[in-house]
Amino acid sequence: MQVVVDNLITNCELSGKGKLVLLLHGWGDSLRGLAPLQSELSKHYRVLSVDLPGFGNTEAPPAVWGLDEYGRFLAALLRKLELDELYALIGHSNGGAIAIRAIAREVLSPKKLVLLAASGIRSDQSARRFAFQVIAKTGNVATAWLPNRYRDALRRNLYGAAGSDLFVMPQLQETFKKTVRQDVQADAHTLKLPVLLVYAADDETVPLKHGEKYHHLIVGSTLKVVQTGGHFLHQQQLPVVADSIEGFLK
Amino acid sequence: MVRMESIAVIFGGRSAEHDVSVVTALASVIKPLELTKKYRVEAVYIAKDGAWYWDDKLKDIKLFTSGEIQNYLHRTQPSSVQFDGGMTLVKASGIAGRKQHRKIDLVFPAMHGTYGEDGALMGLLDMAGVPYVGCGVSAAAICMNKVLAKRVALGSGIPISKYVSFAKTDLERNASGLLKLLDKELRFPVFVKPAHLGSSIGISRATNETELRNALEVAAHYDDEVLVEEEVPNLIEVTLPVIGNEQPQAALLERPMTKAEDFFDFETKYLQGGKKGKGKGGGSKGAQGYSQIPADLPKGLYSQAEKLGLKVYQVMGCSGIARIDMLIDEKAGSVYFNEVNPLPGGLYAHNWNKAGMSNVELVQRLVGFAKERHAARQSLTTTFGTNYLQQF
């Protein structure tokens, strides 16, 4: 289904009946990545998933956006679809960071929150992030002598090797830079609603220790650890993840 | 040695259907044309910013699927076109500032949507005096305006479903008045469509007023003219690929295997490989996903739809190739004209294959029709000598 939200053609899928659950995908993904989970949850809930602006089949934002703009966009989407009572918000990866920020700033007010391998902890200086920052700071100077086309290709390879999503969506590079500078730990600490955290022990993109940190910050939260499944645990371990979510939402 | 005829396949373009056009050109036009070994095939790609590029490298689909096309465009000078009593492609040869030229004998437009399928490109080619495959200016312009096509059909006694059309400015000025009018004139469910776009872009099905309001906004986001039409009850959607000029020939009536609620949107047609339509047996996967070819319909209904499709082709003034979409009310046994697609995605080669025509034969016949139509037009008198200027 398409709707126009804030003058952007927005692609979303609404399925099932019952209390409203909103699914948010991560960076570089789209609602298709959440389709198996949506299909499971639709058996008991009315589930809305959306291609966030710049991803899937939704138009890109007209300016550089951060977590707050994405949060406001989601509120506008719910108004547009006349879906008032948001029961639960489920955010994967960057979708989780958007959710934390939007709830903390009272842009969205779900009754429950599920964070699937949610990102948003930016202060962790892992070796990969360190490499990413070194490349970002030195790369421009080191490659300045190269023609643009070779320079872009080299930068793409280097950022990829450092595990950065900067070039995953080339048209959203500035939005990506703004987003990854936004740490939501302080926002997470203000959350008062029931929160389920689901992380995979073998996730190399957003490590389990981020889940543990959120668990510590969000009073009363529940942490579910899946041993394998990686960053896309809702696809790799769908039955386990769906069961955990359904149990939490009951 | 006899010079091989040069055929320029023009694709891409400043249209929402740019990507579909790339697939049509590379998979269904360039490859079969090259397999004939009769023509020198020139790939002419129009980028989304409107710049033209002529290069053999553009024949490789991987250039587009890998995203490498952006780098290519970044480092390549656009080509130009010379109208010299015909059409000549011109580009830098890379040797001491010399230019490379190629005189074009015939153009095979493989562009869908705005500027490509709506008559704009055909107008340019008519001005250049080059034969080209497919519908001419007026037929393309009528077919690509769904409202205009309905009016022409209505004037020729061709049955259509009930509709209301209006300009985007009407919606902006008086949305509530328009909703009242729609409520009075039409019954839910309705389909809301941008008047000019193809490939189902911007089309929504609305079952209530909220959905209708959103659907109108989506359609108006894409187009300055919007069409709202009643859904035909007990619906069977069928489509008929047709080729030819004065004596058109139909392929097989095809039935997309989709449910009404999963009607073919752009996503289903081109991005999901038609998986929503996958299901009951007899399906064939084509540009529009899974469909039944030939449509399993009672003999009378099949022939009624086939006749209507051929009549529409002639009434709209189509030539070369087109595809006629029709809607059947199964219970009432009524067939309605829905719309014409002057350049079916992938030429609908999958259907022609089932009808016994190979991709190679299909493009060869289309080239033949283009020449035939061009020759007929050449025989018309367009200029004549007068002494008007001397008397001035």
What chain B holds in terms of domains, given with CATH numbers, is 5-134 (3.40.50.20), 163-230 (3.30.1490.20), 234-377 (3.30.470.20)
Nearest CA to B211 out of A56, A82, A46, A53 is that of A82
C-alpha B358/C-alpha B352 separation (Å) is: 7
Q: Which residues of B touch A83 (CB under 8 A)?
A: none
Question: How far is A4 from chain B, CA to nearest CA, in Å?
Answer: 6
- The stretch B187-193 carries a mean pLDDT of 95
One domain for residues A226 and A197: yes
Question: Residue B303 pairs with which residues in a beta bridge?
Answer: none
C-alpha B55/C-alpha B75 separation (Å) is: 13
What's the pLDDT tens digit per position in B53-64?
A: 999 999 999 999
A81 to chain B, any CB pair closer than 8 A? The answer is yes
Q: Which residues of A touch B271 (CB under 8 A)?
A: 57
Closest CA in chain B for residue A4:
B218
A153 to chain B, any CB pair closer than 8 A? The answer is yes
Residue A110 lies in a domain: yes
Q: Which two tokens stand for residue B114?
A: 């705005």
pLDDT for position B392: 80
One domain for residues A21 and A133: no
Q: Could you tell me where the beta strands, DSSP code E, fall in B47-125?
A: 52-54, 80-82, 87-92, 99-104, 106-109
One domain for residues A209 and A96: yes
What's the pLDDT tens digit per position in B340-364?
A: 999 998 999 999 999 999 999 999 9
pLDDT for position B281: 37
A146 to chain B, any CB pair closer than 8 A? The answer is no
Closest CA in chain A for residue B266:
A57
Answer whether A149 sits within 8 Å of B204, measured CB to CB: no
Residue A41 lies in a domain: yes
pLDDT for position B245: 97
B382 burial via Cβ count (<10 Å: 0-12, 13-18, 19+): exposed
A4 to chain B, any CB pair closer than 8 A? The answer is yes
Give how many domains chain A has, as a whole number. 2
Confidence of residue B289 (pLDDT cuts 50, 70, 90): low
Q: Find the CB nearest A2 among B70, B204, B271.
A: B204
What Cα–Cα distance (Å) separates residue A14 from each residue in A35, A109, A234, B87? 11, 19, 19, 51
pLDDT at B287 over 50: no
pLDDT along chain A (250 residues), means of 10: 94 95 94 95 97 92 93 96 94 97 97 97 64 53 55 55 54 78 94 97 94 97 95 95 97
One domain for residues A82 and A193: yes
Answer whether B71 sits within 8 Å of A153, measured CB to CB: yes
Residue predicted with more confidence, A128 or B185:
B185
pLDDT for position A166: 52
pLDDT at B32 over 80: yes
Q: Find the CB nearest B75 among A80, A82, A149.
A: A149
CATH number for the domain harbouring residue A30: 3.40.50.1820
Question: How far is B189 from chain A, CA to nearest CA, in Å?
Answer: 15
pLDDT at B203 over 70: yes
pLDDT for position B386: 78
Q: Which residues of A touch B218 (CB under 8 A)?
A: 2-4, 9
Interface size, chain A vs chain B, as Cβ–Cβ contacts under 8 Å: 29
pLDDT for position B275: 42
Question: How far is A12 from chain B, CA to nearest CA, in Å?
Answer: 12
Q: Which residues of A touch B214 (CB under 8 A)?
A: 3-4, 80-81
One domain for residues A10 and A71: yes
One domain for residues A49 and A167: no
pLDDT at B3 over 60: yes
One domain for residues A31 and A146: no
One domain for residues A79 and A153: no
| Structural domain boundaries enclosing A7 | 2-122+182-249
One domain for residues A244 and A197: yes
C-alpha B61/C-alpha B27 separation (Å) is: 8
C-alpha A21/C-alpha A86 separation (Å) is: 6
Q: Which residues of A touch B172 (CB under 8 A)?
A: none
One domain for residues A44 and A102: yes
C-alpha A156/C-alpha A118 separation (Å) is: 25
Residue A177 lies in a domain: no
| Cβ atoms of residues A76 and A68 within 8 Å | no
Last residue of a domain, one of A149, A171, A193: A171
Confidence of residue B280 (pLDDT cuts 50, 70, 90): very low
One domain for residues A56 and A114: yes
Residue A176 lies in a domain: no
Q: Is the peptide bond before B159 cis (omega within 30 degrees of 0)?
A: no
Question: How far is B215 from chain A, CA to nearest CA, in Å?
Answer: 7
pTM of the entire predicted model? 0.76
Answer whether A3 sits within 8 Å of B217, measured CB to CB: yes
Residues 6+ apart with CB under 8 A from B26: B11, B59, B60, B61, B64
One domain for residues A102 and A203: yes
Q: Find the CB nearest A57 among B70, B222, B267.
A: B267
Phi, psi dihedrals of residue B276, rounded to the nearest 5°: -65, -30
ipTM over 0.85: no
Mean of the per-residue pLDDT values of chain B: 89
| Cβ atoms of residues B298 and B119 within 8 Å | no
A19 to chain B, any CB pair closer than 8 A? The answer is no
- Eight-class DSSP state of A58: S
What's the pLDDT tens digit per position in B254-272?
A: 998 865 444 445 455 444 4
Residue A227 lies in a domain: yes
